[in-house]
Structure 1
Amino acid sequence: MSTHKQKLYALCRDHVQRRIQDISQALQEVKESADEETKSTAGDKYETARAMAQNEMEKLNAQLQENRKLQQVLEQIDPLRSAPIIQLGSAVRTTQGNFYIAVSAGALGQGKEAYFAISPASPIGTLLIGRKVGDEFQFNKKTYRIEAVE
């Protein structure tokens, strides 16, 4: 099957894993910083520093959970599977650009072969899901025609 789709899948997987690693590292740094702060201060300054660290940890934990959900979405994709109808895991070429239906990861690749990794729940993703080669649709005042689906 398509090594092209396998590459797109790997790029999305790497993107999510890198974000999880970065967030985990930031979370660890906040914890260490909060621990150091509690050792060196007392009173109101201590309470303020602890509250700020707690807020930051909550924000990072929420981001971590969101990225783990994205990882679960990717686990549902078989990059070797192809279908004529656009679905999760489809690589789609249109007259207005190329899309990989998986998770929002931005542009993958460069030039004419670049694909935008998008969520099926995104505005354009919802328009693509269920369509096939030859179908047309409107998005942002542009007409898209589906040229290929892998």
Structure 2
Amino acid sequence: MKNKIDKNWILESCLANQNELIANFQKRESEINDAAFKKNASASQSEDRSAGKYELLKAIGDELAFAQKELAFLSDLDVTTESTVVEPGAVVVTDKLTFFIAISSDKIEKDQSTIVGISTRAPIYASMRGLEKGNSFQFNETTYVIEDLY
């Protein structure tokens, strides 16, 4: 069996990654905002090219809002109790991967273990929701056996 990774550490890592993602979106939004509203002094740039920048600005704003909503979900997540079923806040150790049920996130690594953050809206979560240690589930033609759950 794989080493148990502290759920608080996993949550803190996910929070740090999410905050970094939000900061990157905010920086990019600011850069595009500046570019869209600055007047270009070059005579060869007399036509208005800001329409594409407005669309990009809206798309980044939408992604930023989604990332902030996910940060709020993470911030409200209670990881202080042991999970006995696959649910939000659970760490699900399978024979193939270890999942943290919260939001989709970059893989995090600790003590030679890789943890994959998955959203409760992810199709793989639907395949494992409510299962217990020892149960198995199938996703994308792969069978996973739940070896530990906490």
Task: Give the TM-score of the pair, scaled to structure 2.
Answer: 0.86
- Distance, in Å, in 1 between the alignment partners of 2:95 and 2:9 is 22
1:11 corresponds to 2:13? yes
Matched with 2:88 is: 88
The residue correspondences of 1:27-66 to structure 2 (distance < 5 A) are: 27-36=29-38, 38=39, 40=41, 45-48=46-49, 50-66=50-66
Q: Secondary structure at the match of 2:6?
A: helix
Where in structure 1 are there 5+ consecutive unaligned residues?
Answer: none
Taking only aligned residues, the RMSD between alpha carbons, in angstroms, comes to: 2.2
- Distance, in Å, in 1 between the alignment partners of 2:96 and 2:60 is 36
CA displacement at 1:110 relative to structure 2: 5.8
1:99-134 CA distance string (max 9 Å, x none): 111111131106851111111221211112111111
Structure richer in helix, relative to its length: 1
Comparing 103-112 with 9-18, greater Cα deviation is found at 103-112
- Number of equivalent positions: 147
Residues 81, 45 of structure 1: CA spacing in aligned structure 2 closer, same or farther, 3 A cutoff? farther
Where in structure 2 are there 5+ consecutive unaligned residues?
Answer: none
Task: Give the TM-score of the pair, scaled to structure 1.
Answer: 0.86
Contact 1:106–1:118 (Cα < 8 Å) also in 2: no
